[in-house]
Structure 1
Amino acid sequence: MTATTERPAAPACRAWTWRRGRVLAAFAVLTALLLLAHPLVPNQVGNAGSLLETFLPWTGLLVVPLLAVALVRRSALALVSLLLPALVWGGFFGGRLFDKRGHGGDLTVASHNVNDENPDPAGTARALAAAGAQVIALEELKKSEIPKYENALAAAYPYHSVQGTVGVWSTFPLRDTRPVAIMPWTRALQTTVDTPKGPVAVFVAHLPSVRVRLDAGFTAVGRDEAMNLLAGAIAAESAPRTVLVGDFNGTADDRALAPITTRLQNAQDEAGDGFGFTWPAGLPLARIDQVFVSGVRTVAAWTLPATGSDHLPVAATVAF
């Protein structure tokens, strides 16, 4: 009689282990470092730092494939390591996920890059008027289409001024309206809105476009130069209350906006709901349309429904 030795049955699946996943853990740490040290990413080569910061909130998605591989490999080490980038991302952006909008306020301002190829200027104007803002700022106005916006807004907004490709419409009187020289042609203006509770300096700007090119990287030199000129005009403004709106072709996380963000508060961060992405309108990936304020308190900030433009409109209510 021959004795046989029974082999133990193979486990149905591999057990969780701390031995596997060292490479995944290293990638998790690098992701966290990328978030923490993004200001150290240089701009000297292709404006890499600004490009990263333009889409900085989306770096959190790097955790998703790492998590999937960690689960497949059943690596406890990798799974625990992924807590690091998750916590860092939460520290940076967690506060933006909550609804911080309040009620009341003294002035509501809306801003919209209407797109010079907008197929329905009048409908876009009516949609903005329906939002109830006392001040509406428009960017990328096409000269031949300006009368359509003027006609649609005339009844509710008796005061208005168009300077180059930007304009402002108001239910309150405007004065001292003039262009702001940020480019060879007019793409910015400043005005004073005389509200019942006092004057407010309002700036409207449309900064130059940016591109991502294989041979040059993130081309934003023109935008950055215009940004500095705009910041200089704001610094020279003596009004106690300032509102700056427009299409900046850059996010508030981008270091290039530092000349603005170090002087004024970002309304979306102060009193928004979520990230408030505005471009492109069909699938918003970045908030490049902004409302910045100084000398007032932001009560609420939000994006408006899509119009015929490739941008979403933005709005904010402030209290004096």
Structure 2
Amino acid sequence: MELALLIGVIVIALAFDYTNGFHDAANAIATSVSTRALTPRVALLMAAVMNFIGAHLGESVANTVGKGIIPPPSGQHGLIIVGSALIGAIIWNLITWYFGLPSSSSHALIGGLIGSALASSTTVHWSGVVQKVVIPMVLSPVVGFTLGAIIMIAILWIFRRANPHKASRGFRYAQTVSAAAMALGHGLQDAQKTMGVIFLALVVGGHVSPDSSIPEWVITSSALAISLGTYAGGWRIMRTLGRRIIHLDPPRGFAAESAAATVLYTAAIGFGAPISTTHTITTAIMGVGATRRLSAVRWGIAGNIVVAWVLTIPAAAIVAAISYYVLNFILG
């Protein structure tokens, strides 16, 4: 029974990874598609490949998710906790995807872990949540907005005498690189979160020790799941990021992607912090748009997105808690 439950939790984790891919595909390519630097299918294929590569570039974010949010519970009860967390995250992902809101899959997963842990009276490492989740959650959008604005101002100054048509064409080519960098950062961040949850389930099931390295099959399967999800595409959210916040041209698309990718790499490699790719690219787009004029940003749409951000952790936690009570009643 316990082995079957472990396999079920791993399958659910990979399903979450897949939903993460199509939910967050827009993060990597929306700006490139909206500026016509890349066609949608080419952009999705490139993003899927870069997601797969990025997933193999480290384990620090996975370790934070797998060890830093809750202590590994034990046995069948522990697997119910992990499975409930994943269900909460998946349901919130699907709700926000349906309404085209670019919410954070990362924070949905963190909220799911917190909710199922609280429902089961399991300890939550609140210091880890504050240091690795809450502080980066607040800082990364601010840094993304500021860095996006700074890069855009620099581009406007450096190319102030350039021929607009030639400059725009050049930045379309440059966006291929910046979009690839963004997709690599997405894999580096988001695939690792699923790795961390699967590793947590393996520890709970007694198949690996807490101090072990993450098995290669976990890394590869997580990378493959998010890549397939990315290639499936998240068109609803892509329209929101690429068109509804602000009309982007190639220079602004390049600036937003470059700023967001820089923040993602710094957080993952420097701090092991599971930040939201969604928050980062969205605020970078806002920062870039604000250099044109503040009214160029559709702040009403931005406000709806911020509401989704604020709701993500508590909403996913509530769904995870309900899932825990249901699963515990059935299987406990």
Q: How high is the TM-score relative to the length of structure 2?
A: 0.22
Which protein has the larger Cα radius of gyration, Structure 1 or Structure 2? 1
- Of structures 1 and 2, the one scoring higher in RCO (CA 8 A, sep 6+) is 2
TM-score by length of 1: 0.22
**Greater share of strand:** 1
Higher helix share: 2
